[in-house]
């Protein structure tokens, strides 16, 4: 029985993520989700209580998966730079494991997060705290300047979500170019994001450096 419930819950989450990504929250209907999952509407309400509860469960699944991996990374005996490289890999892995999440997240961002509740906000804050702890480790080691975790987070998530959300249309568009333009691979995306966020962390001026600069003028 427990196994059947787990399977039906996973099917609902998968179907709902695709519907929300394609149609947005307001246009998505529970009966369409149920049909796509090959279940009845009662099962959707049994597992999630409401359409909004289902929507938030999808976001919490993604946020929880990333936060758990970052929490583990905080305690791993790796150099700060290696940890930040791994952060980017974790973000991209989580998003590509859930291919409908990027367009769904972009829609929610455009709506100013109006479907977020306290639990969702706390899940986001947990992720930022873990990222902040990793940055602080680099600051204490003398490898990084003290950058706010939200800035680093957005520097990774913004380009990543846009890159993944516009596929497959991106590849089709590039193929029509004369001559065709090769689409960047996932590994190339990861490498670019790693280099970008590390360049910011390693190059941003510290407070003392800014003070010295002002004194010199």
Identify the CATH number of the domain in which residue 147 sits: 1.10.357.10
pTM of the model: 0.82
Domain match, 134 and 79 both: yes
Domain match, 11 and 83 both: no
What integer pLDDT is reported at residue 113 of this predicted model?
80
- Structural domain boundaries, residue 182: 51-208
Domain match, 135 and 185 both: yes
How far is CA 64 from its chain centroid? Answer: 10
Q: Extract the residue ranges of the chain whose pLDDT is less than 70.
A: 1-5, 168, 170-171, 204-217
Domain match, 43 and 56 both: no
Domain match, 16 and 61 both: no
What integer pLDDT is reported at residue 215 of this predicted model?
41
Q: Is residue 215 part of a domain?
A: no
pLDDT tens-digit readout, 60-81? 999 999 999 999 999 999 999 9
What integer pLDDT is reported at residue 176 of this predicted model?
74
Domain match, 13 and 102 both: no
What integer pLDDT is reported at residue 184 of this predicted model?
79
Domain match, 58 and 97 both: yes
What integer pLDDT is reported at residue 149 of this predicted model?
94
Q: What's the domain count of the chain?
A: 2
CATH of the domain at 29: 1.10.10.60
What integer pLDDT is reported at residue 213 of this predicted model?
35
Domain match, 17 and 122 both: no
Query: Exposed, middle or buried: residue 186 (CB in 10 Å: 0-12, 13-18, 19+)?
Result: middle
> Which residues touch 90 (CB under 8 Å, ≥6 apart)?
66, 69, 70, 73
């Amino acid at each position: 029985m427990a196994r059947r419930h787990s399977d039906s819950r996973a099917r609902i989450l998968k179907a709902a993520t695709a519907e929300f990504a394609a149609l947005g929250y307001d246009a998505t209907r529970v009966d369409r989700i149920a049909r796509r999952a090959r279940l009845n509407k009662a099962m959707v309400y049994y597992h999630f209580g409401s359409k909004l509860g289902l929507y938030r469960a999808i976001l919490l699944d993604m946020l929880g998966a990333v936060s758990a991996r970052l929490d583990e990374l905080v305690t791993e005996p790796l150099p700060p730079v290696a940890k930040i490289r791994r952060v980017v890999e974790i973000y991209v892995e989580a998003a590509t494991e859930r291919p409908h999440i990027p367009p769904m997240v972009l829609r929610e961002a455009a709506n100013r997060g109006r479907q977020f509740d306290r639990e969702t906000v706390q899940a986001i804050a947990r992720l930022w705290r873990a990222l902040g702890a990793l940055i602080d480790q680099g600051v204490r080691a003398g490898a990084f300047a003290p950058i706010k975790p939200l800035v680093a987070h957005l520097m990774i998530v913004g380009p990543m979500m846009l890159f993944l959300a516009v596929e497959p249309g991106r590849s089709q568009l590039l193929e029509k170019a004369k001559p065709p333009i090769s689409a960047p691979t996932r590994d190339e995306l990861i490498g670019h994001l790693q280099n970008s966020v590390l360049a910011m962390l390693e190059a941003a001026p510290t407070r003392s450096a800014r003070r010295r600069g002002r004194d010199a003028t």
